[in-house]
Amino acid sequence: MSARGAQAGDDLRLADQSLFTGVLEDHLALDPEVVLAGFSMGTGEVTRYLGTYGSAGVSKAALFGVIPPFLLQTDENPKGVPAEVFDGIKQTVLADRYAWFDSFFANFYNTDVLAPDRIGDAALRASFQVAAGSSPYASYACVDTWLTDFRGDLPKIDVPTLVVHGTADRILPFEATAARLRDEKLIADLTVVSVDDGPHNIGWTHPEETNAALLDFLSRLNILLWAQAFGSEQKMGHPISASHLSVFSGRACAMLAVTR
Protein backbone atom coordinates (compact mmCIF):
# COMPACT_ATOMS: atom_id res chain seq x y z
CA MET A 1 0.00 0.00 0.00
CA SER A 2 1.38 3.40 -0.92
CA ALA A 3 1.60 6.32 1.48
CA ARG A 4 -1.03 8.24 -0.47
CA GLY A 5 -3.41 5.29 -0.79
CA ALA A 6 -3.56 4.65 2.95
CA GLN A 7 -4.76 8.11 3.96
CA ALA A 8 -8.50 7.42 4.04
CA GLY A 9 -8.19 4.45 6.39
CA ASP A 10 -5.82 6.32 8.66
CA ASP A 11 -8.20 9.26 8.88
CA LEU A 12 -10.79 6.81 10.21
CA ARG A 13 -8.35 5.36 12.74
CA LEU A 14 -7.47 8.84 13.93
CA ALA A 15 -11.16 9.69 14.26
CA ASP A 16 -11.56 6.58 16.44
CA GLN A 17 -8.66 7.72 18.63
CA SER A 18 -10.07 11.23 19.02
CA LEU A 19 -13.44 9.71 19.90
CA PHE A 20 -11.70 7.69 22.62
CA THR A 21 -10.24 10.91 23.97
CA GLY A 22 -13.73 12.39 24.19
CA VAL A 23 -15.16 9.30 25.88
CA LEU A 24 -12.29 9.34 28.39
CA GLU A 25 -12.85 13.00 29.15
CA ASP A 26 -16.56 12.35 29.76
CA HIS A 27 -15.81 9.31 31.90
CA LEU A 28 -13.40 11.22 34.11
CA ALA A 29 -15.94 14.04 34.48
CA LEU A 30 -13.18 16.62 34.16
CA ASP A 31 -13.99 20.20 35.03
CA PRO A 32 -13.88 23.08 32.50
CA GLU A 33 -10.23 23.76 33.30
CA VAL A 34 -8.96 20.67 31.47
CA VAL A 35 -5.94 21.15 29.21
CA LEU A 36 -5.49 18.68 26.35
CA ALA A 37 -1.81 17.91 25.85
CA GLY A 38 -0.23 15.74 23.20
CA PHE A 39 3.21 14.71 21.99
CA SER A 40 4.14 13.70 18.45
CA MET A 41 1.28 11.60 17.02
CA GLY A 42 -0.72 12.61 20.10
CA THR A 43 -0.75 16.18 18.78
CA GLY A 44 -2.77 14.88 15.85
CA GLU A 45 -5.29 13.27 18.17
CA VAL A 46 -5.72 16.49 20.13
CA THR A 47 -6.11 18.44 16.89
CA ARG A 48 -8.62 16.00 15.42
CA TYR A 49 -10.58 15.90 18.70
CA LEU A 50 -10.94 19.69 18.87
CA GLY A 51 -11.75 19.88 15.16
CA THR A 52 -14.41 17.17 15.43
CA TYR A 53 -15.98 17.61 18.86
CA GLY A 54 -15.18 21.22 19.71
CA SER A 55 -13.69 22.74 22.83
CA ALA A 56 -16.54 22.38 25.32
CA GLY A 57 -14.92 21.59 28.67
CA VAL A 58 -11.43 22.35 27.32
CA SER A 59 -9.60 25.53 28.28
CA LYS A 60 -6.32 25.11 26.39
CA ALA A 61 -4.24 22.76 24.25
CA ALA A 62 -0.52 22.06 24.54
CA LEU A 63 1.28 20.34 21.65
CA PHE A 64 4.86 19.08 21.75
CA GLY A 65 6.67 17.98 18.60
CA VAL A 66 3.66 18.65 16.39
CA ILE A 67 2.60 16.65 13.36
CA PRO A 68 -0.01 19.10 11.91
CA PRO A 69 -0.76 20.68 9.55
CA PHE A 70 -0.11 18.07 6.81
CA LEU A 71 3.14 16.17 6.44
CA LEU A 72 2.66 14.65 2.99
CA GLN A 73 3.84 16.60 -0.04
CA THR A 74 1.19 16.95 -2.73
CA ASP A 75 0.60 19.31 -5.63
CA GLU A 76 -1.39 21.62 -3.37
CA ASN A 77 0.85 21.00 -0.32
CA PRO A 78 4.35 21.58 -1.70
CA LYS A 79 5.90 22.20 1.74
CA GLY A 80 5.32 18.59 2.78
CA VAL A 81 7.67 15.61 2.64
CA PRO A 82 7.66 13.48 -0.56
CA ALA A 83 5.63 10.26 -0.38
CA GLU A 84 8.66 8.24 -1.46
CA VAL A 85 10.28 8.96 1.91
CA PHE A 86 7.43 7.28 3.78
CA ASP A 87 7.20 4.39 1.34
CA GLY A 88 10.91 3.81 1.93
CA ILE A 89 10.40 3.80 5.69
CA LYS A 90 7.70 1.18 5.37
CA GLN A 91 9.95 -1.04 3.25
CA THR A 92 12.66 -0.70 5.89
CA VAL A 93 10.20 -1.72 8.60
CA LEU A 94 9.19 -4.79 6.58
CA ALA A 95 12.81 -5.80 6.06
CA ASP A 96 13.97 -5.46 9.69
CA ARG A 97 11.86 -3.45 12.08
CA TYR A 98 14.37 -3.75 14.92
CA ALA A 99 17.11 -2.23 12.80
CA TRP A 100 14.65 0.52 11.87
CA PHE A 101 13.96 1.17 15.57
CA ASP A 102 17.69 1.71 16.11
CA SER A 103 17.81 4.23 13.29
CA PHE A 104 14.54 5.88 14.31
CA PHE A 105 15.56 6.50 17.91
CA ALA A 106 18.97 7.78 16.87
CA ASN A 107 17.06 10.53 15.04
CA PHE A 108 14.34 10.73 17.69
CA TYR A 109 16.97 11.93 20.18
CA ASN A 110 19.70 13.15 17.75
CA THR A 111 22.11 10.87 19.58
CA ASP A 112 25.07 11.78 17.36
CA VAL A 113 24.88 15.30 18.81
CA LEU A 114 23.19 14.95 22.21
CA ALA A 115 24.43 11.62 23.63
CA PRO A 116 25.53 10.97 26.28
CA ASP A 117 24.98 14.38 27.90
CA ARG A 118 21.26 14.69 27.18
CA ILE A 119 20.28 11.10 26.39
CA GLY A 120 21.93 8.07 27.98
CA ASP A 121 22.13 4.46 26.86
CA ALA A 122 19.63 3.27 29.47
CA ALA A 123 16.93 5.72 28.34
CA LEU A 124 17.62 4.82 24.72
CA ARG A 125 17.23 1.10 25.52
CA ALA A 126 13.96 1.82 27.33
CA SER A 127 12.57 3.55 24.25
CA PHE A 128 13.66 0.63 22.08
CA GLN A 129 11.95 -1.86 24.39
CA VAL A 130 8.66 0.04 24.25
CA ALA A 131 8.78 0.06 20.44
CA ALA A 132 9.78 -3.61 20.25
CA GLY A 133 6.70 -4.45 22.30
CA SER A 134 4.44 -3.24 19.52
CA SER A 135 3.13 -5.67 16.93
CA PRO A 136 4.90 -5.96 13.56
CA TYR A 137 1.74 -4.69 11.87
CA ALA A 138 1.50 -1.64 14.15
CA SER A 139 5.14 -0.82 13.44
CA TYR A 140 4.34 -0.81 9.74
CA ALA A 141 0.87 0.75 9.76
CA CYS A 142 1.71 3.66 12.04
CA VAL A 143 3.73 5.28 9.26
CA ASP A 144 0.63 6.07 7.21
CA THR A 145 -1.05 7.75 10.17
CA TRP A 146 1.68 10.42 10.02
CA LEU A 147 0.19 11.55 6.72
CA THR A 148 -3.22 12.64 8.01
CA ASP A 149 -4.35 16.02 6.71
CA PHE A 150 -5.26 18.25 9.69
CA ARG A 151 -5.76 21.48 7.75
CA GLY A 152 -9.54 21.26 8.09
CA ASP A 153 -9.32 20.84 11.87
CA LEU A 154 -6.93 23.67 12.68
CA PRO A 155 -9.28 26.64 11.99
CA LYS A 156 -11.82 25.07 14.36
CA ILE A 157 -9.48 25.22 17.34
CA ASP A 158 -10.81 28.11 19.41
CA VAL A 159 -8.81 27.74 22.62
CA PRO A 160 -5.32 29.12 23.36
CA THR A 161 -2.80 26.63 22.01
CA LEU A 162 0.86 26.14 22.87
CA VAL A 163 3.29 24.49 20.45
CA VAL A 164 6.78 23.53 21.65
CA HIS A 165 9.06 22.12 18.96
CA GLY A 166 12.77 21.47 18.50
CA THR A 167 14.47 23.32 15.67
CA ALA A 168 16.61 20.25 14.91
CA ASP A 169 13.70 17.79 14.84
CA ARG A 170 14.55 15.06 12.31
CA ILE A 171 11.29 13.14 12.70
CA LEU A 172 8.83 16.02 12.18
CA PRO A 173 10.93 18.85 10.74
CA PHE A 174 10.26 22.24 12.33
CA GLU A 175 9.82 24.06 9.01
CA ALA A 176 7.23 21.55 7.78
CA THR A 177 5.20 21.57 10.99
CA ALA A 178 5.48 24.15 13.79
CA ALA A 179 6.81 26.91 11.54
CA ARG A 180 3.84 26.48 9.20
CA LEU A 181 1.36 26.67 12.05
CA ARG A 182 2.98 29.93 13.10
CA ASP A 183 3.74 31.55 9.75
CA GLU A 184 0.49 30.60 8.04
CA LYS A 185 -1.54 31.47 11.17
CA LEU A 186 -3.40 28.17 11.04
CA ILE A 187 -4.57 28.35 14.69
CA ALA A 188 -6.18 31.58 15.85
CA ASP A 189 -4.65 31.85 19.33
CA LEU A 190 -1.24 30.23 18.99
CA THR A 191 2.00 30.47 20.95
CA VAL A 192 5.00 28.75 19.37
CA VAL A 193 8.11 28.11 21.45
CA SER A 194 11.07 26.84 19.47
CA VAL A 195 13.76 24.90 21.32
CA ASP A 196 17.11 25.67 19.74
CA ASP A 197 18.89 22.52 18.53
CA GLY A 198 16.15 20.39 20.11
CA PRO A 199 15.37 16.96 18.62
CA HIS A 200 11.95 15.38 18.37
CA ASN A 201 11.73 14.24 21.99
CA ILE A 202 12.53 17.60 23.56
CA GLY A 203 10.70 16.56 26.72
CA TRP A 204 13.58 14.23 27.54
CA THR A 205 16.57 16.09 26.16
CA HIS A 206 15.50 19.66 26.99
CA PRO A 207 13.22 19.42 30.04
CA GLU A 208 14.18 22.86 31.36
CA GLU A 209 12.96 24.67 28.24
CA THR A 210 9.96 22.41 27.76
CA ASN A 211 8.71 22.58 31.34
CA ALA A 212 9.26 26.34 31.53
CA ALA A 213 7.17 26.87 28.39
CA LEU A 214 4.36 24.66 29.67
CA LEU A 215 4.28 26.14 33.18
CA ASP A 216 4.24 29.68 31.81
CA PHE A 217 1.38 28.74 29.49
CA LEU A 218 -0.63 27.15 32.31
CA SER A 219 0.01 30.07 34.66
CA ARG A 220 -1.68 32.37 32.17
CA LEU A 221 -4.72 30.10 32.39
CA ASN A 222 -4.76 30.45 36.18
CA ILE A 223 -4.67 34.24 35.96
CA LEU A 224 -7.59 34.18 33.52
CA LEU A 225 -9.59 31.95 35.84
CA TRP A 226 -8.84 34.30 38.71
CA ALA A 227 -10.06 37.29 36.70
CA GLN A 228 -13.24 35.48 35.70
CA ALA A 229 -14.02 34.28 39.19
CA PHE A 230 -13.44 37.58 40.95
CA GLY A 231 -14.41 39.96 38.18
CA SER A 232 -17.93 40.23 39.57
CA GLU A 233 -16.55 41.26 42.98
CA GLN A 234 -14.42 43.92 41.37
CA LYS A 235 -17.43 45.32 39.49
CA MET A 236 -19.33 45.51 42.77
CA GLY A 237 -16.54 47.47 44.42
CA HIS A 238 -15.21 44.66 46.61
CA PRO A 239 -11.41 44.63 46.98
CA ILE A 240 -9.44 41.74 45.53
CA SER A 241 -6.68 40.68 47.88
CA ALA A 242 -3.38 38.96 47.18
CA SER A 243 -4.79 35.84 48.82
CA HIS A 244 -7.35 35.57 46.04
CA LEU A 245 -4.60 35.41 43.45
CA SER A 246 -2.60 32.88 45.44
CA VAL A 247 -5.56 30.48 45.42
CA PHE A 248 -5.45 30.34 41.65
CA SER A 249 -1.70 30.56 41.15
CA GLY A 250 -1.32 27.42 43.24
CA ARG A 251 -4.24 25.57 41.73
CA ALA A 252 -3.48 22.59 39.53
CA CYS A 253 -5.28 22.41 36.19
CA ALA A 254 -6.49 19.01 35.02
CA MET A 255 -4.45 17.82 32.06
CA LEU A 256 -5.43 14.99 29.74
CA ALA A 257 -2.22 13.92 28.02
CA VAL A 258 -2.19 12.05 24.72
CA THR A 259 1.08 10.41 23.69
CA ARG A 260 1.70 7.90 20.97
Q: Is 169 a catalytic residue?
A: yes
Instruction: Calculate ∠ Cα 190-196-198, nearest 5°.
Output: 95
**pLDDT for res 70:** 98
- Report whether 227 contacts 234 (CB < 8 A): no
Which candidate in 10, 165, 194, 200 is catalytic? 200
Q: What is the pLDDT of residue 34?
A: 86
Does this model's pTM top 0.75? My answer is yes
| Catalytic member of 40, 59, 139, 194 | 40
Pairing of strands 34-39, 58-64: parallel
Residue 200: active-site member: yes
Bond preceding residue 173 cis, omega within 30 of 0: no
Residue 205 CB neighbour total at 10 angstroms: 25
Question: Residues 53-89, buried b or exposed e (16+ Cβ, 10 A)?
Answer: bebebbbbbbbbbbbbbbbbbeeebebbbebeebbeb
Q: Tell me, what's the pLDDT at 173?
A: 96
One pLDDT digit (tens) per residue for the chain, 260 residues: 444 444 444 454 555 555 555 555 565 666 667 899 999 999 999 999 999 999 988 999 999 999 999 999 999 999 999 999 999 999 999 999 999 999 999 999 999 999 999 999 999 999 999 999 999 999 999 999 999 999 999 999 999 999 999 999 999 999 999 999 999 999 999 999 999 999 999 999 999 999 999 999 999 866 555 455 545 444 444 333 333 232 323 333 445 555 54
Distances (CA, A) of 174 to 3, 19, 58, 145, 179: 21, 28, 26, 19, 6
Residues listed for the chain: 260
Q: Which of 62, 27, 26, 28 is nearest to 45 (CA)?
A: 62
Q: For the domain made up of 7-259, give the CATH fold.
A: Rossmann fold (3.40.50)
Domain boundaries, the chain: 7-259
pLDDT at 33: 75
Catalytic pick from 10, 144, 153, 169? 169
